């Protein structure tokens, strides 16, 4: 009797766990035009700062922390006040100290440099 009850409870847990329970609605927010996440670079091109944060999370967060607080690499919480955008780009492209050069270029590099420059 105990084995049967245990089997039923275990089965119920598996079924309920597989069903999830999350809200699967995918309602898109209305587009109001300006999202406020674009900035202009020195050459006049618009850079999406949200994309810069995504590039950071994909390439830098493992060493510098998801919240810029550091880890294996130093904290980047005040990188924008410590370095100019040109210096930040040079560090990303060429590396510095024990940090190797990163494989980030083009729009991703522009977005990352712009986003990091805002961190003060």
- Higher pLDDT: 71 or 1? It is 71
Dump the DSSP string for the chain. Answer: -HHHHHHHHHHHHHHHHHH-------PPPP--S--S-EEE-TTS-EEEHHHHHHHHHHHTHHHH-TTS--SSS---TTHHHHS-HHHHHHHHHH-BTTBPPP---HHHHHHHHHHHHT--
Assigned domain for 9 exists: no
Residue 62 domain flag:
yes
92 falls in which pLDDT band (50, 70, 90)? very high
Number of structural domains (the chain) is: 1
Confidence of residue 25 (pLDDT cuts 50, 70, 90): low
CATH number at residue 101: 1.10.760.10
pTM score of the predicted model: 0.61
In tens, the pLDDT along 36-68 reads: 455 454 444 455 678 999 999 999 999 999 999
Domain of residue 86 covers 44-117
**pLDDT higher for 46 or 10?**
10
Q: What is the pLDDT of residue 110?
A: 93
Provide the pLDDT for residue 1. 73
């Amino acid at each position: 009797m105990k084995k049967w009850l245990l089997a039923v409870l275990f089965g119920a847990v598996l079924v309920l766990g597989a069903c999830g329970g999350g809200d699967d609605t995918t309602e898109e927010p209305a587009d109001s035009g300006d999202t406020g996440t674009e900035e202009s670079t020195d050459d006049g091109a618009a850079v999406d700062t949200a994309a810069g944060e995504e590039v950071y999370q994909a390439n830098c967060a493992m060493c510098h922390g998801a919240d810029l607080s550091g880890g294996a690499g130093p904290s980047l919480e005040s990188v924008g006040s410590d370095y100019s955008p040109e210096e930040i780009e040079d560090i990303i492209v060429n590396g510095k100290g024990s940090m190797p050069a990163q494989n980030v270029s083009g729009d991703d590099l522009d977005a990352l440099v712009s986003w990091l420059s805002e961190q003060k």
